A and B are shown apart, each in its own frame.
Chain A
Amino acid sequence: MNEEQLIASAKNGDRKALAELVKNYGQTVYSFAFKVCRDREKAENMMQETFYSMIKSLHQFDGNSKLSTWLYRIVVNHCLMEARKSSRYTFVEQETDDSLFDEKYIADWSTLPIKNLETKELRNILDSAIDKLQPEYRVVFTLRDVEEYSTEETAKMLELSVPAVKSRLHRARAFLRNEITKAFQE
């Protein structure tokens, strides 16, 4: 069965078709949730909540968007709700362009010992940097740059305007880039 047939069957109560859909998107949803939550247990919970929501609301899925886009919308909402429970983020929104794009961050990355780092060390640096980024910016960065959705698709998924996505994206990139630079300069 192709995806359209699977969705139609699942809507009619075919649990095998439903299981197949969950299986097909498990990795995608878990991987995205992990990139936003940076925590295995939270990612697992977000994934479970996402598929639970999918099963409850599949009858409302009208097929006007891809199932993957619809699932991203659900997992983004769950991740944002979870992330907002914490207040440990650096508020990139309050940073001015002068601080985000300060010339002190024009370090030549070719001299940074990135390639010499153990995977675990590099991962810690990346986790620590993204962990400080506000979730609203993190989801834009992840959808646009990591998952490679277009600006327009990202805007639709997040119900944001295209200029808002662009603004969040360029601030998120600068923030992450600066945090990584700082980690290497410490």
Chain B
Amino acid sequence: MNEEKVSCKDVMSHICESLSEEMDSPKCVAIKDHLENCEGCKSYFTSVEMTIDLYKKCTETFPDDVHKKLMAFLELNDEK
């Protein structure tokens, strides 16, 4: 296994990709190892995941009146 050294800053600059990408490169394997032992990075990792989660939950409903206005704007309100 590659013993490449990474700093916290390295980990943080790559951590976002690690949330959704395969981490099988030597650098990413080293990052994984670092993550398992670094409380600061674990916190950072969790906070980025939470950031994404918060934005996912913060949705906007599609009000009926907005739909009606759209159909009127497109002159499609009589097509049912």
List A residues at the B interface (Cβ < 8 Å): 15-16, 18-19, 22-23, 26-27, 30-31, 34-35, 40, 43-44, 47-48, 51-52, 55, 97-98, 101, 103, 105-110, 114, 122-123, 126, 130, 141-142, 144-146, 151, 166, 169-170, 173-174, 176-177, 180-181
Chain A residue nearest in CB terms to B8: A103
Interface size on B, residues (CB 8 A): 37
A109 & B50 in contact (Cβ 8 Å cutoff): yes
Further pairs besides A30-B66, A97-B9: 20, Cβ < 8 Å: A19-B76, A22-B74, A30-B62, A44-B70, A48-B69, A51-B70, A52-B73, A101-B13, A103-B9, A106-B12, A106-B41, A122-B54, A122-B58, A123-B58, A126-B54, A130-B55, A144-B20, A145-B52, A176-B55, A177-B44
**Is the pair B52, A108 in contact by a Cβ cutoff of 8 Å?**
no
Chain B interface main SS type: helix
Q: Are the C-beta atoms of A22 and B76 separated by less than 8 Å?
A: yes
Q: Are B74 and A55 in contact (CB under 8 A)?
A: yes
Point out the residues of chain A lying under 8 angstroms from B73, CB to CB. Answer: 48, 52
| Interface residue ranges, B against A (CB under 8 Å) | 8-9, 12-17, 20-21, 40-41, 43-44, 46-48, 50-52, 54-56, 58-60, 62, 66-67, 69-71, 73-74, 76, 79-80
